[in-house]
Amino acid sequence: MKKIVTSIIILAVTLLMWSCEKPHHPQHLELWYAQPARMWEETLPLGNGRLGMMPDGGLHREHIVLNDITMWSGSKDDTRNRHARGHLKQIQKLLLEGKNDLAQEMMYRYFACGGKGSNRGDSADAPYGSFQLMGNLDIAYTYPLYRNLLDSSDDLKEYRRSLELANATAHCTFMLGNTTYTRRYYASQTDDVLVIELSADKKAAINFTATLSRPERYYTRTADSTLMMEGQLNNGTDGNGNRYKTLLKVCNTGGEVSYTDGCVTVKDADKAYILLSGGTELWSDNFEERIDKLLQRAIATDSETLYRHHVEKWKSMFGRVTLDLGEQNNSLPTDQRLIAFQQNDDPSFAALYFQYGRYLMLSGTREDSMPLNLQGLWANTIHTPWNGDYHLNINLQMNYWPMEVTHLEELHSPLHELIEGMVLSGEETARTFYGAKGWVAHMMTNPWGFTAPGEHASWGATNTGGAWLCEHLWEHYAFRPDTVYLKEIYPILKGASEFFLSSMIREGKNNYWVTAPSSSPENAFYMPGTKKAVNVCMGPTMDIQLVRELFTNTISAAKILGTDSDFSQKLAVTMEQLPPMQISPKGGYLQEWLEDYEEVDVHHRHVSHLFGLYPSNQISVSETPDLAAAARKTLERRGDDGTGWSRAWKINFWARLKDGDRAYKLLGNLLHPVADAGKIVYNDGGTYPNLFCAHPPFQIDGNFGGCAGIAEMLIQSQNGYAEILPALPSTWKESRFTGLRIRGGAVVDAEWSENQWYKATLTAQVDNTFKVKLPADDLKVEINGEEYTPQNGMVSVTLGKGERATIVLR
């Protein structure tokens, strides 16, 4: 009898445990469409971090935009301004006297960069330069077997154009008559070429002519059975800038291939493989030799082996993270899912968007490449909006927000190298404009280390761009502590700190140390008692938060490395004399400026003074509740609209305020459709049919900001401990994620039910002690099967590198 009872108990316990394990929902992560792209923002992006393409899936004529992340015009320019330093004291004097308008006028005349600067965002032919498309591949298809059928729309059946995120592969399939045609596209992660495979289920069915072109500065030729496009971009001076070359080779099964008059023609092939290799002088001094070797290697590799290697490499990084918010609804095309999301809650679409952000990051850059620019890797024009450069007052930084937490940390190196490459230029800018030590960067930069103020003070005066970049250097350390890396970045942190130590001035009212001149990025206020709008100021809240963040991280780095104690003491003393964050006595919101000025636009897209809430941790619900309440009031005043990236930033703000439903509402706003049936129908921030973020126009930062915002809903670790599901939307009742990272150096998997997590596994990437906040106080806790007594609502586990701890709550 005892054996029977024992068996029943074991069975009951087993069933109870089984019932807690939630089923895995199918996660076929795919974007798909039922028609060819009618606009560029409907095409699907492919990339290997250096080369990219965006095919439109055209039936008769297919247009494929080609990209190379090093396809930059421009050159290094002398941005010194011999008038700037001599007028700095007068500008600061005017600011101290409250004459901001006069200080701004003086800056217009004397305190801008030398030369044209960014040429107001159109610098394709100026020294600053512009990121540009590599070129266009146009393919004209013919279908001899069905020449007489093409006039009837009924002849085209089962058209489907798709992008599979899990293997970084695009497809286009359709039936014409009784023949099924298949196209497969990918940017090889391992062999560094672009591949287009064309096939059909009937022999001799592949017929096309392909050409390469771009809007300017190119010529094409054929040699050695290869189509070539080459040229030289404008450097903004003598025209002899960045040289480039693109090679196209067709490998075929059956049929004939001919190269004539700058084109390649394929006739009656069973299959055809289009291989493209390209590069620039900015990428490599011997780029021509390198791209030829890459092409020859790809030609010599079996097509399925080439593809298998690509998929294996891709999955090794993309597959680190899963997010299950319900089964993917792939019955609807993605453009229709986007529209439906505005009316019907679909958490799985949020999961798709999250993974699409990771997809774009891993496609858009890699360890040995350049950083993601305003458009990531993808552009379809010579005059890319705002030069497709690196904006340093939010946009470049937002591009990298999801990198650490979503387990793509290797992609940090291009950003690190960009920052390191700015230091010498930044030192020259600090000396010639401010007479200061250290290094500084303002609002924008390019591949040649531009660090000077922009050409217009209303947006170009912000001088904390370098300080913000240093925050990313520190975050990379925080997510995986490594003193070797810390030694590498410490001189950069110290140099940025030296600039502010030697350039800040005392303001007159409270004797605080403040930046001057500066601005709260791109926002304006009215001169007191007037309706005269100005931007230039001293000590805007964002500057002070950034300086405090920089000094704090520099002090921490010096302490860990056991160096520069005297310098750290100077930073600590100065930090105590920075202005505090101020709550407006008249409105209860966080002040954006040192004075409580009236904003010109209460709903301005930038919410820069909440940097302290996110990505910094100077404002939090638990540690600074009054400031958190003021931040909430600020967001209510700003509103939930704005540009695409502005909406994305607000997702992260609301997640930090632990308001998951409001963060989810902002995600819905970010995913507002801006186009329908191939036409723009909404001229504000939102999302294009291919899920690119609309500023408008397209800017990729919103995609990454939205991805980071979803991660912030799921896990946070900025206050010295991990908090799982800190801002979970109420409709995400039960599910799981795997592979998200926390500061301190661990990877977290978690499962939840009824909006509360019940199981979490930590895997240490380094030796460390990790704290995890419990979701309630009355829970029984087990760690690796043994009972554990929490302390102050926390679980603490010490792990060696590679060790795991599974926390189960009862």
The 3-state DSSP class for residue 419 equals: helix
Cβ(460)–Cβ(454) below 8 Å: yes
Whether 684 shows a pLDDT value over 90: the answer reads no
Cβ(102)–Cβ(457) below 8 Å: no
Sign of the Cα pseudo-torsion (401, 404, 408, 411, in order):
positive
Q: Kindly state the average pLDDT of the residues 787-808.
A: 96
Q: Kindly state the average pLDDT of the residues 655-679.
A: 96
Cβ(766)–Cβ(696) below 8 Å: no
Of 501, 366, 459, 533, residue with least CA distance to 120: 459
Whether 635 shows a pLDDT value over 70: the answer reads yes
Got the DSSP string for 582-622? -B-TTT-SBPSSSS-PPBS-TT-S--GGGTTTTTS-SS-TT
pLDDT of residue 149: 57
- Least confident segment among 6-20, 599-613, 622-636: 6-20
Q: CA-to-CA distance for 131 and 67, rounded, in angstroms?
A: 10
Residue 408 DSSP code = -
Residue 224 belongs to what H/E stretch? none
Residue 757 DSSP code = E
Distance of CA 346 to the CA centre of its chain: 24
Distance of CA 796 to the CA centre of its chain: 33
Measure the N-to-C terminal CA separation of the chain; round to a whole number of Å.
30
Got the DSSP string for 106-136? HHHHHSS-STTTTGGG--TTSTT--B---EE
Select the more confidently predicted residue: 681 or 580: 580
Enter the tokens of residue 645. Answer: 């990236």
Do β-strands 206-213 and 219-223 pair in parallel, antiparallel, or remain unpaired? Answer: unpaired
Q: Kindly state the average pLDDT of the residues 272-293.
A: 98
Cβ(440)–Cβ(434) below 8 Å: yes
Residue 437 belongs to what H/E stretch? none
Helices (H) and strands (E) in the chain, counts: 19, 39
Q: Kindly state the average pLDDT of the residues 328-354.
A: 95
Alpha-carbon distances of 113 from 124, 231, 391, 422, 599, rounded to whole Å: 18, 30, 16, 16, 27
Say how many residues make up the chain. Answer: 810
The 3-state DSSP class for residue 791 equals: strand
Cβ(1)–Cβ(302) below 8 Å: no
Select the more confidently predicted residue: 108 or 677: 108
pLDDT tens digits for range 584-614: 999 999 999 999 999 999 999 999 999 999 9
pLDDT of residue 148: 64
Whether 15 shows a pLDDT value over 90: the answer reads no
Cβ(553)–Cβ(471) below 8 Å: yes
Of 232, 250, 254, residue with least CA distance to 295: 250
Q: Kindly state the average pLDDT of the residues 203-214.
A: 97
pLDDT of residue 458: 85
Enter the tokens of residue 552. Answer: 């704090």
Residue type, 5: V
Cβ(179)–Cβ(115) below 8 Å: no
Whether 477 shows a pLDDT value over 90: the answer reads yes
pLDDT of residue 25: 75
Q: b vs e for 28-50, b when ≥16 Cβ sit within 10 Å of the residue's Cβ?
A: ebebbbebbbbbbbbbbbbbbbb
Residue type, 286: N
Of 441, 448, 440, 460, residue with least CA distance to 389: 448
pLDDT of residue 520: 92
Q: Enumerate the β-bridge partners of residue 686.
A: 694
Residue 5 belongs to what H/E stretch? helix 2-20
Whether 19 shows a pLDDT value over 80: the answer reads no
Of 369, 382, 377, residue with least CA distance to 122: 382
Residue 438 DSSP code = S
Residue 243 DSSP code = E
Q: Look up the pTM and report it.
A: 0.95
Q: Enumerate the β-bridge partners of residue 579.
A: none
pLDDT of residue 154: 67
Do β-strands 194-200 and 271-280 pair in parallel, antiparallel, or remain unpaired? Answer: antiparallel
Cβ(766)–Cβ(772) below 8 Å: no
Residue 453 belongs to what H/E stretch? none
Residue 692 DSSP code = P
Q: CA-to-CA distance for 392 and 496, rounded, in angstroms?
A: 14
pLDDT of residue 6: 39
Alpha-carbon distances of 691 from 32, 180, 245, 700, 771, rounded to whole Å: 11, 28, 30, 10, 36
Phi, psi values for residue 368, rounded to 5°: -105, 25
Q: Kindly state the average pLDDT of the residues 244-269.
A: 96
Average pLDDT, the chain: 94
Q: How many CA atoms lie within 13 A of 398 on its CB side?
A: 32
pLDDT of residue 808: 97
Whether 346 shows a pLDDT value over 90: the answer reads yes
Whether 14 shows a pLDDT value over 60: the answer reads no
Q: Kindly state the average pLDDT of the residues 354-380.
A: 97
At 642, the pLDDT band (50, 70, 90 cuts) reads very high
Alpha-carbon distances of 564 from 166, 424, 490, rounded to whole Å: 47, 22, 11
